[in-house]
Amino acid sequence: MDDPRLTPARGDLAAKYLEGKVKAERFVAGEIFEVSSAIAPLREAPSTDAALLTQALKGERVTVYDRNGEGFAWGQLNSDRYVGWLRDSALTTPGAAPTHKVTAIRTFAFPGPSIKLPPAETLPMGAMVTVMREDDIFAVTREGWYLPLQHLAGIGQREPDFVTVAERFVGTPYLWGGKSSFGIDCSGLVQISLNAAGTPCPRDTDMQQDELGRPLDAVESKNLQRGDLIFWKGHVAIARDALTIVHANAYHMATVIEPTSDAIARIKATGLEVLAIKGLKP
């Protein structure tokens, strides 16, 4: 059965590419849009009160299949294929392909060539922009924003160690569905960190457990290596070394570094055992 989180299909409407595979009253090809907001919530229903499923970041492409006429669009993110509702106001007609991405955990977009100006926007790690030119210490985007050059890198740049990226989020508040330094959840931390290192990554913990790495012996948690992933039902943590992990979690309501044994014992006390340990190294 197709995963509804990744399948743009409802009883009344579905994506054209699903015709013959699912039942729907009509099938539409959809239209590509670009995320123009710094962070665009992708929700379960067309309401600001609906559950947050994930977040789309500036520069991402979205295929929109429906609009409700009340300010919301229903579509599928082109990056990790997640399906949900976005605000119309967060979308725009695609412009030139992004040339750069934000590599700082967040950066300011200034309206002119001075850090003393009130920022026009705050962009999170992973946001993508189109740089038109450089001006001293700034990159000037097609919106006319001035971004610090040291907070950007070319679209193809890869971080050498995704764990180091995850460690930079320590202290970030926990947010279900979040994937930025303003708020992040466990699988969002894994996804944004792996993406920064050039590794495609699905959104949710069960998807990550199924699709990432190779299985290791779950009993041998004492032999963890940097970059291994530990999975519980509904939770994932990243090994920093044989003894510590970094993870975003609701117990601390933050991204923290803690002893692996402490986390395993605490989570076991709630009735959840380690489901799997996956190694990402060849």
pLDDT, tens digit (0-9, with 9 covering 90-100), for 116-139 = 999 999 999 999 999 999 999 999
From first to last of its 282 residues, the chain has per-residue pLDDT tens of: 589 999 999 999 999 999 999 999 999 999 999 999 999 999 999 999 999 999 999 999 999 999 999 999 999 999 999 999 999 999 999 999 999 999 999 999 999 999 999 999 999 999 999 999 999 999 999 999 999 999 999 999 999 999 999 999 999 999 999 999 999 999 999 999 999 999 999 999 999 999 999 998 755 566 899 999 999 999 999 999 999 999 999 999 999 999 999 999 999 999 999 999 999 987
Q: How far is CA 259 from the centre of its chain?
A: 25
CA atoms of 271 and 83, how far apart (whole Å): 31
pLDDT, tens digit (0-9, with 9 covering 90-100), for 207-222 = 999 999 999 875 556 6
